[in-house]
Amino acid sequence: MLKINEIYNSIVLVRVAFDLPSLDDTARIKDAIPTIELLLSHKNKVILTTKWGRPKGQDLEFSTQKLVDVIESELATTPKTSSSPLERSTKVEFVDQFKSFVQAKTQILNSKNQVFLLENTHFEADEKSKESEKRTIIAQKYASLADYFVDEAFPSSHREEATNTEIKEILPWTFGLAYANEIVNLDRLRLDVKKPFVVVMAGAKLETKLSLITKMLPKADKILVGGLLGFTFIQAAKDLDYADLPDIYDSYVEVDFLDQAKELLKTNPEKLILPIDIVYEEVEGKKFGRDIGLKTLELFESELQKAQTIFWNGTLGFYEKPPFDKATHELGFFIAKLETAFKVLGGGDTGSSLPQEILDKLDFVSMGGGATLEYLSR
């Protein structure tokens, strides 16, 4: 495969994952800056392309033009890989490729700038068409803009889209630095895990995490289950006549997955650790579980204390509404203090729910949500 440090004096299309939850949450931009800097130091022009949000047609609310100032700020404040950072500007020039790909190419060729940002790829419906032939037509348009392609969008790697699948069949390509780093660190969980291996699996949807739980069970020593998906497992355990389980009252249960949860509990009763107490909230006469309780937190910490490898995905409670973020934060601080374990956080809401002081003490924070789960499930 082409190596990124072999690309010089060219025009490089870089697929990035700047699908920001807000303009203040720039972690994904920071993650891509080293790749951009490396390409710039090799005298390349860099064209950034990304999806953002879920626009219906060309919805200006999700125009990537809004990201220009944020990217420029991150480029200006990040240490440069170039030995002469003053040789160039950190200006990012917006290019609306949908007006005309030919005009876009002319604009890029004639500009003195080195960094360009294309309009939201999802403004074109066929970008994510289920038909590869349609995606190929779109990919050919993007490929006409550049000499090389760099995939720096690991969070989108589980989706088939023209600018991260078919384009690789047209242009010479390689992975970006952050994408390659994702693979190196996640492979330590897939291929070379140091035991005891403890997994914290929480969050909202068992549907998206069931395959990973199934895949992890043979190699994990314990899987600690929390969040909304914990209620489905608690209900499944009650159906199997488990004793001493907390009431879930009106908490949401994914009924379609109860049978699979029961089967996992039957075959792995010692590995799956369920909540033993719950923090509730009453809303309009109904009672919902919102967080794991103190006894469960202590139980989880006792298992994590033994671990040499930890993977955590999903928040333990309704973290958007204090005080139901308490267990997630406390477990984060506990894990951060474990010095001998290799600690990996599985991105998505989990990363955005934790303060930076915790994230800084983890060994690796994946930028992927669904992509991380998909990769680990292979």
233 in Cβ contact with 261 (< 8 Å): yes
Q: Using CA atoms, how far apart are residues 102 and 14, in angstroms rounded to an integer?
A: 18
Q: CA-CA-CA-CA torsion for 364, 367, 371, 377, nearest 10 degrees? A: 10
pLDDT of 80 = 59
199 shares a domain with 94: no
Q: Give the mean pLDDT of 334-348.
A: 92
pLDDT of 81 = 52
Q: Which residues form the domain of 265?
A: 184-376
266 shares a domain with 167: no
- The residue length of the chain stands at 378
Q: How far is CA 38 from the centre of its chain?
A: 23
168 shares a domain with 224: no
Give how many domains the chain has, as a whole number. Answer: 2
110 shares a domain with 22: yes
Of the candidates 177, 210, 229, which is a domain's last residue?
A: 177
Q: What is the pTM of this model?
A: 0.88
228 shares a domain with 258: yes
CATH number at residue 271: 3.40.50.1260
| pLDDT > 90 in the chain, percent | 77
pLDDT of 25 = 83
Confidence of residue 85 (pLDDT cuts 50, 70, 90): very low
Longest dimension (CA), the chain: 72
For residue range 113-166, list pLDDT tens digits in order: 999 999 999 999 889 999 999 999 999 999 999 999 999 999 989 889 999 999
Confidence of residue 213 (pLDDT cuts 50, 70, 90): very high
Top-confidence residue, 329 or 370: 329
168 shares a domain with 240: no
Return mean pLDDT, the chain.
92
Q: Give the mean pLDDT of 105-114.
A: 96
Of the candidates 156, 177, 198, which is a domain's last residue?
A: 177
Of the candidates 157, 177, 197, which is a domain's last residue?
A: 177
Complete edge-to-edge strand list for the sheet that includes strand 197-201: 272-273, 222-225, 197-201, 309-313, 342-345, 364-365
For residue range 15-68, list pLDDT tens digits in order: 999 988 888 888 889 999 999 999 999 999 999 999 998 888 788 889 999 999
301 shares a domain with 343: yes
pLDDT of 96 = 96
340 shares a domain with 237: yes
165 shares a domain with 218: no
195 shares a domain with 173: no
132 shares a domain with 36: yes
230 shares a domain with 116: no
